[in-house]
Each structure stands twice: as structure tokens, then as C-alpha cells.
Amino acid sequence: LSWPVMAGHGCIGCSEPQFWDTMSPFYRRLPNVPGFGVESDADELGIGLAAATAAAFAAHGVVSAVRKSSDKE
């Protein structure tokens, strides 16, 4: 025999008083839970990552240019 935790599932407290009446259903969809990327598709995420990467490269270039010009002085 097995039980949820032994099978690798998290404890759901099934031995608590009135558990089945107050704690179920366990896997019901949660309404309007915000999360990263849930509403986005691959194109939107790709554009966001490309923009962030371009901004990081631009910032690196500016900092490098400022350091190089200050080293010459």
C-alpha cells in the first residue's frame, strides 16, 4: 500500500477533521491567478527577451565607452 506523500505527492492533510468537507476539490482551477508568461505566447516572450538582451548590450556598450574615455584622460 501507499499514501500520497509516499507516492511523491505533497501532503493534502487528509487526516484532518472534516477534511473532505472543507478542503476539497484539490485540483479545481484557480480563478484569475496572475503569473509570468501564462497569458503570453512564444512570439511575445521572444520579443521581450530580445528587447531585454538589446538593452543589456547597449548598456554594456555605453559603460565600456565611458570607461575607455576616462582611462585616456
pLDDT digits (tens, 9 = 90+) for 28-58: 777 766 666 566 778 888 999 999 999 999 9
Predicted model pTM:
0.45
Here the cell at position 60 is 554594456
CB distance 22 to 28 below 8 Å:
no
List C-alpha distances in Å: 68 to 47, 55, 57.
Answer: 31, 20, 16
